[in-house]
Amino acid sequence: MTTALAVGRVPDELPRSTDVLVIGAGIVGTAVAAFLAAAGAEVCVVDRAAPADGASSSGEGNLLVSDKLPGPELDLALRSIELWHRRGELVGDDIELEPKGGVVLARTPAERHELWTLARAQAAGGARVRLLESDELSEVEPFVAPGLAGGVFYDQDCQVQPMLAAASRVAELRGLGVRLVWPAEVTGAQHDADGRIVAADTARGRVSIGTCVVNAGGPWSGTVAARLGATVPVVPRRGHVLVTEPVAPVTLHKVAEAGYVGSVHAGDDGRSCSAVVESTRSGTMLLGSSREFAGFSRRVDQEVVAEIAARAASLFPGLRAVRLLRAYVGFRPATPDRMPIIGPDGAVPGLVHATGHEGAGIGLSEATGELVAALVLGHATEVDPAPFAATRFATGQ
């Protein structure tokens, strides 16, 4: 598949050498490149297909606080949302940044108790939350089903149009002098006597590396790492998204059911479905989503489609009359602890990872770009990098 992002920009030639080589022109790799280049580094980005051809074209574009556990993940999300707002000010309406807020709904009193407990902990970690009683739900979401047990409103939750966000970043890279080369699959690396990466081999030739290579290969990061002599435990976590015909707004905010947060962080390998419902500028509704470890199969599973549709309609009965336009499958880059891997590889000098963002890579891309740039250039970091270190998976740690 070649995305529309490839249109309108002719790929650059592969340079013979670069200070930093970013592997992967998804939302994360391009953010890393932008922050590094803005700080003065010489950067080249290579992609085996085209910009935003991977997970980044599947995301719904939620920039969420609501599904983040208190601690490092929430810290990274809060910083990222701050940076997304700065970006929104810079690029205007080009990325359809909407600070619409998010609502999480509890179906039962037990779910509400769990949700409120989480929300109180998130509030202690810097999130702005409003606990909603059952009878307050319709004030916030007028078309919500009656009889739900309660919810939480998160006013920091936002949305962007991910393809527009990626396109705007690609345009920015050109302005920053970043070389963007595709299709150029990275196939291997050359190491010096100390094991440091000194060159990367691509389908277009070899490029010498001055400082480092950044692995931003999304769900393919495990393979990219292996080709560079390293190991990162990133695997694809498949998800379905349903797209409806354009309708009058059914929701005013981005809405998820409480089980969504649990399914994001679940450690088991089973399939889970939980409803996420949101409107888009074009009037279509996006209904998500499922999670399963099923490799890179693009097969749309009609059972999953039916379950997502039923769960969404049980929250918003008005959806029962709405037709589906299509359903598609995408792949989240998942790690064993559901936290991203950001920082130097523990075993291969000259290799830095920026991957494993699971279902939050669009949201977390800004703070990830900032963090990688600070780590590579030796600057102070805005968030503590230690919890995201690649070395946490090293044997014996």
Ligand X SMILES: Cc1cc2nc3c(=O)[nH]c(=O)nc-3n(C[C@H](O)[C@H](O)[C@H](O)COP(=O)(O)OP(=O)(O)OC[C@H]3O[C@@H](n4cnc5c(N)ncnc54)[C@H](O)[C@@H]3O)c2cc1C
Binding interface with ligand X (CB under 6 A): 23-29, 46-49, 53-56, 58-62, 185-186, 216-220, 224, 239, 241, 288-289, 330-333, 355, 357, 359-363
Amino acid found at 372? V
Give 15's DSSP letter: P
Give 150 or 330: the residue with its C-beta nearer to ligand X.
330
User: Helix, strand, or coil here: 259?
Assistant: helix
Shortest distance in whole angstroms from residue 134 CB to ligand X: 27
Output 150 or 288, the one with its CB closest to ligand X: 288
Check if the beta carbon of residue 80 is closer than 8 Å to that of residue 63: yes
Whole-number minimum distance, CB 359 to ligand X, in Å? Answer: 5
Minimal distance, residue 287 CB to ligand X, in Å: 11
**Closest CB to ligand X among 149 and 390?**
390
d(CA 286, CA 243): 5
- Give 144 or 354: the residue with its C-beta nearer to ligand X: 354
Name the pairing type of β-strands 272-279 and 285-291: antiparallel
For ligand X, the closer CB: 112 or 254: 254
Gap between the Cα atoms of 143 and 126, Å rounded: 30
Query: Closer CB to ligand X, residue 87 or residue 357?
Result: 357
Closest CB 227 distance from ligand X, rounded Å: 6
Considering beta carbons, is residue 149 or 305 the nearer one to ligand X?
305
Q: Are 212 and 36 in contact, with CB atoms under 8 Å apart? A: no
CB of 28: closest distance to ligand X in angstroms?
Answer: 3
Residues in the chain: 397
User: What stretches of 57-107 show up as alpha helix (H) in DSSP?
Assistant: 72-91
- Using DSSP, state whether 54 is helix, strand or coil: coil
Nearest approach, Cβ of residue 113 and ligand X (Å): 26
Q: How far is the CB of 338 from ligand X (least distance, A)?
A: 11
End-to-end CA distance of the chain: 40
CB-based contact 361:26 (threshold 8 Å): yes
Find, among 118, 103, 80, the residue nearest to 150 by Cα: 103
Q: Is 322 helix (H, G, I), strand (E, B) or coil?
A: coil
